[in-house]
């Protein structure tokens, strides 16, 4: 994986305070190292041969130069499955979102890498929500000032009801020991699942075969983190504390097959949109992240 080291001055300005605040927030020792992450949005164009012919990053002038550099270097090496239309390869343009992660690499620097990327945008399509119930913030997590994002996998029936729901990944903005983080991931995950069971999506059109639809929906639990003034939300261009959760298998949902526009971790999906599964749609990245 292609990596880039941030120089000491930039690291001190952008990341040192964030990592320090995360370490101070730890309730006890932990074996997981704190990380920081940034969501970056942009667009790219892929030629008929699957090579990238151009890309842009949203608000590039406001992004740290090392972040732009590591993205540019990686994108230049990416290769995609050619997009076919009526049997002929065509060029294609797509929105993209990238999850860039910074990890402590030594005494005075940090190592950047791309953990995930998604090509496309939130795509409600025929499965758009017509009833959206917000989850209740677990009181225990609120008291502990635990924020995080739950990535839900959904199976939706022909009438638009959520038939099955699971939380394959829960990322935290909290540093604690392993059992604390496991507990908070379960609390946030269960709260999101309970809310999702009451969601309602558009039913399939009359006369269409009754088939199940699948989707991934990020659910954000956000709260001000004590001791970190002005802690930004997990939005484009912001460094945020980041404790990525393990990816749990869901027997009835294969993200790599159902979301071909996703490569790497689920947390490349931005915001709280609905990402409907479309095995035949979207750009499909053939290269490994980082171009290695």
pLDDT of residue 292: 35
Specify if 249 maps to a domain: yes
Q: In what order do the strands lie in the sheet with 213-221?
A: 162-173, 147-156, 213-221, 275-276
pLDDT tens for each residue of 58-115: 999 999 999 999 999 999 999 999 998 888 999 999 999 999 998 877 666 788 999 9
Q: Is residue 109 located within the same domain as residue 142?
A: no
Q: Is residue 31 located within the same domain as residue 159?
A: no
User: Max Cα separation, the chain?
Assistant: 64
Q: Is residue 68 located within the same domain as residue 32?
A: yes
pLDDT of residue 20: 40
Beta bridge partners of 41: 97
Average pLDDT over residues 35-44: 92
pLDDT for 221 beyond 60: yes
Specify if 234 maps to a domain: no
Specify if 219 maps to a domain: yes
Average pLDDT, the chain: 83
Of the ranges 22-36, 123-137, 170-184, which is most confident?
170-184
Domain holding 16, by residue range, is 4-119
Q: Is residue 18 located within the same domain as residue 76?
A: yes
Query: First and final CA of the chain: distance in angstroms?
Result: 5
Output the domain CATH number for residue 263: 3.30.2420.10
Of 71, 87, 119, which residue sits at a domain end? 119
Q: Is residue 95 located within the same domain as residue 213?
A: no
Q: Please choose, from the candidates 1, 248, 278, 233, the residue with its C-alpha nearest in 3D space to the C-alpha of residue 118.
A: 278
DSSP calls for 103-153: EE-SSS-EEEEEEEEEES--B-GGG-EEE-PPPPPPHHHHHTT-EEEEEEE
Specify if 239 maps to a domain: no
What's the total number of domains in the chain? Answer: 2
State how far the Cα of 160 lies from the Cα of 127, in Å rounded to an integer: 7
Beta bridge partners of 131: 200
Specify if 230 maps to a domain: no
Of 53, 85, 119, which residue sits at a domain end? 119
Beta bridge partners of 225: none
Q: Is residue 85 located within the same domain as residue 40?
A: yes
pLDDT for 291 beyond 70: no
Residue 55 CB contacts under 8 Å (≥ 6 apart), including other chains:
42, 43, 44, 45, 72, 75, 96
Q: Is residue 132 located within the same domain as residue 269?
A: yes
Q: Is residue 30 located within the same domain as residue 156?
A: no
Specify if 43 maps to a domain: yes
Q: Is residue 66 located within the same domain as residue 184?
A: no
Among 3-12, 67-76, 109-118, 218-227, name the one with the lowest average pLDDT: 3-12
Q: Is residue 131 located within the same domain as residue 254?
A: yes
pLDDT of residue 91: 93
Q: Is residue 148 located within the same domain as residue 200?
A: yes
Q: Is residue 93 located within the same domain as residue 202?
A: no
Of 90, 119, 148, which residue sits at a domain end? 119
């Amino acid at each position: 994986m292609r990596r880039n080291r941030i120089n000491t001055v930039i690291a001190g300005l952008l990341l040192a305070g964030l990592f320090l605040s995360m370490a101070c927030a730890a309730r006890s020792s932990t074996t997981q190292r704190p990380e920081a992450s940034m969501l970056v949005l942009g667009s790219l164009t892929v030629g008929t041969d699957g090579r990238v012919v151009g890309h842009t990053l949203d608000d590039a002038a406001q992004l740290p130069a090392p972040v732009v550099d590591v993205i540019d270097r990686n994108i230049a090496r990416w290769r995609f499955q050619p997009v076919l239309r009526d049997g002929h390869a065509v060029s294609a343009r797509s929105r993209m979102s990238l999850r860039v992660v910074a990890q402590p690499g030594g005494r005075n620097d940090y190592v950047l890498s791309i953990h995930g990327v998604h090509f496309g945008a939130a795509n409600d399509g025929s499965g758009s929500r017509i009833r959206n119930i917000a989850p209740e913030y677990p009181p225990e997590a609120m008291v502990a000032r635990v924020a995080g994002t739950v990535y839900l996998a959904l199976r939706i029936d022909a009438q638009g009801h959520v038939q099955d729901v699971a939380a394959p990944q829960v990322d935290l903005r909290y540093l604690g020991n392993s059992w604390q983080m496991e507990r908070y991931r379960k609390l946030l995950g269960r709260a999101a699942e309970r809310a999702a069971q009451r969601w309602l999506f558009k039913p399939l059109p009359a006369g269409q075969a009754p088939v199940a639809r699948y989707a991934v929906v990020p659910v954000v639990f956000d709260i001000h983190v004590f001791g970190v003034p002005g802690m930004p939300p997990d939005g484009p261009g912001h460094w945020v504390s980041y404790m990525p959760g393990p990816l749990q298998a869901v027997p009835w949902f294969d993200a790599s097959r159902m979301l071909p526009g996703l490569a790497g971790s689920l947390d490349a999906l931005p915001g709280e949109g609905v990402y409907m599964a479309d095995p035949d749609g979207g750009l499909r990245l053939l290269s490994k992240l980082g171009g290695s």
